[in-house]
Chains A and B, each alone.
Chain A
């Protein structure tokens, strides 16, 4: 029976290709398989999951990222989904996807769920990432928190116990200087989450978040911000750090304006965390915003549909952070929405 089913699969043309196996792509593939659509998922890396595989505990509930991934993967594995890993899509059309090794997959529709890339903090030289000791990105800190679970804790993973820590918001976001005009949406809440994680591990440390605006857009986020202030005594200073420089005793001196008092502020810290933003990945020649993220047909009823282009009649759909910065919950929702839109599209064809 099993063999029979596999055979019949082979004889049928594939109906939908999902490009990208992060949370959005996995969810889209699951949803399509549930509806009996023959779906192929291709993933560039050797394993599924995308960025959340590198995160530790998730905002706003401190749920381990691994738990979310495991539950999603269990559902994925229970369905009949053709999976091709270590395969990078280089060209995408509504009826075919070309892989880097030259293979061409024919299909009736494509969901693009290729996600985002992490901003390279070295591009903001003035903050000294990769130049000075004790400068980390928020992505580095997630990995260090992982490492700290075993053995010596976070102090062990860092190799020291910080006494004063600064976190800087909007690194590689909202910045014309590095051509990243957009707000990355998740870094404010990540900054609040990481400040709390640090305070839990280093209760004696003073922790400062330097921000331009605090954007707490999601459920429970504002509450977490308040908790950071009230329960964990995290200090929030409204001002963008202009530069960091090493001090003679191996610490870092940072400069900002404390805009709420109207005075320049200087501070030496022994740990500096850059809350890096989301940067757009390749656009496959599709219409995109100035930020580089792919632009859907509209931001309402067509928000997971690619604009119909000259010569094509649709058949391309977007899910997750490929079209704008989003949190995991939102990316998962878009996986469902894009799958439903693609299923409706191939039925009507």
Chain B
């Protein structure tokens, strides 16, 4: 009896309601695979020092014209959210302005190249 009850409860999540809902907005840290993100950090450990100040986004040439947000993008990659990121990165013009601003001295322009290389392989 007891077992059946439990399995019933588990199956609730799997009920087909006949219509879809938006993809969950939650960053599910239990599910996200950080292997790629860790590989990126291994190649550019300085990214770990980012303080999320947004200087790179503030000065970004591409960000002024499109919805490209470099600070948010590389933060999402570090959380294991890779979907659509490569396409986003195509908006970057590699102008390098972000690198002049970063208070942590991160080579943000090289980071764009690194991210594209890693995420493009996917």
In the assembled complex, which residues on chain B have CB atoms less than 8 Å from the CB atom of A175?
Answer: 103
Contact with A along B83-122 (1 / 0, CB 8 A): 0000000000000000011111100000000000000000
Query: Cβ of A240 and Cβ of B58 under 8 Å apart?
Result: yes
- Rounded to whole Å, the gap between the CB of B25 and the closest CB of chain A is 13
Contacts of A257 in B (CB 8 A): 53-58, 69, 71
Q: Does B64 contact A (CB under 8 A)?
A: yes
Give the residues in chain B near A242, CB-CB below 8 Å: 55, 58-59, 101
Q: Specify which chain B residues have a CB less than 8 angstroms from the CB of A265 in the assembled complex.
A: 58
Q: Cβ of A240 and Cβ of B69 under 8 Å apart?
A: no
Choose among B58, B101, B105 the residue that contacts A264 (Cβ–Cβ < 8 A): B58
Number of A interface residues in the complex (CB < 8 A): 23
A212 lies within 8 A of B58 (CB): no
| B72-A256 in contact (CB<8A) | no
Q: Which residues of B contact A256 (CB under 8 A)?
A: 54-55, 58
Q: Is the CB of B55 within 8 A of A177?
A: no
> Which interface residue of A174, A242, A255 has the most chain B CB atoms within 10 A?
A242
Inside 8 A of B71's CB, which chain A residues have their CB? 257, 259
Known: A239-B58, A241-B58, A242-B58. A262 touches B53 (CB 8 A): no
Q: How many A-B residue pairs have CB under 8 A?
A: 66
Find chain A residues with CB under 8 A from B102 CB. 176-177
B57-82 contact mask (Cβ, 8 Å, vs A): 1 or 0: 11110011000010110000000000
How distant is A232 from chain B, measured CB to nearest CB, in Å? 25
When the two chains form their complex, are residues A259 and B103 in contact, meaning their CB atoms are under 8 A apart?
no
Residues of chain A within 8 A of B59, CB atoms compared: 242-243, 255
From A126, A174, A259, A263, residue with most partner B Cβ within 10 Å: A259
Shortest CB distance A171–B (Å): 10
- B-contacting residues, A326-346, CB 8 Å: none
CA distance A177 to B63 in the complex (A): 23
Say whether B54 contacts A239, CB under 8 Å.
yes
Tell me the chain A residues, 190-232 only, with Cβ under 8 Å from chain B. 212-213
- Which residues in A have some Cβ–Cβ distance to B below 8 Å? 126, 170, 174-177, 212-213, 238-243, 255-259, 262-265
B→A interface (CB under 8 Å): 51-60, 63-64, 69, 71-72, 100-105
